[in-house]
Amino acid sequence: MSASIAWSLENGQLVFKGELTRATVPQVWSARGQWQADSKERLVVDLAAVEHVDSAGVAMLLQLKRLLAAQQRELSLTQPSQQFKAIADVSGATELLNL
């Protein structure tokens, strides 16, 4: 079974569902213009339904944070799984992503 990811805007938050991995990051990244423009000063990303993440998913969120910072906006991550936190920790991104 191949990896899949879906995203939606719900209650002003970007919600990812599925796997945020090397296989799915290009799909999500190419669609960022559709959801990035809707956020004001803060983009809130709900990670509760992310079943699996790898270093590519963490790297994508770091890049998104950099892009938003250049626009004087913030990235806020909510409900990261323990697996997400572990990958972020191993990647040295825990503090950068404010986890």
Strand order in the sheet with 13-20: 5-10, 13-20, 42-53, 74-78
Could you give the CA distance from residue 56 to residue 11 in angstroms, rounded to a whole number?
A: 27
* pLDDT, position 10: 85
In a domain, 7, yes or no: no
* pLDDT, position 99: 80
**Residue ranges with strand state E in the chain:** 5-10, 13-20, 42-53, 74-78
What's the whole-model pTM score?
0.89
* pLDDT, position 60: 95
* Beta strands at 13-20 and 5-10: parallel, antiparallel or unpaired: antiparallel
In a domain, 1, yes or no: no
Question: Considering its fold, how many domains does the chain have in total?
Answer: 1
Q: The domain that contains 77 carries what CATH number?
A: 3.30.750.24
Could you give the CA distance from residue 96 to residue 99 in angstroms, rounded to a whole number?
A: 8
Tens-level pLDDT at each residue, the chain (99 residues): 578 999 998 888 899 999 999 999 999 999 888 876 655 788 899 999 999 999 999 999 999 999 999 989 899 999 999 999 998 999 888 888 888
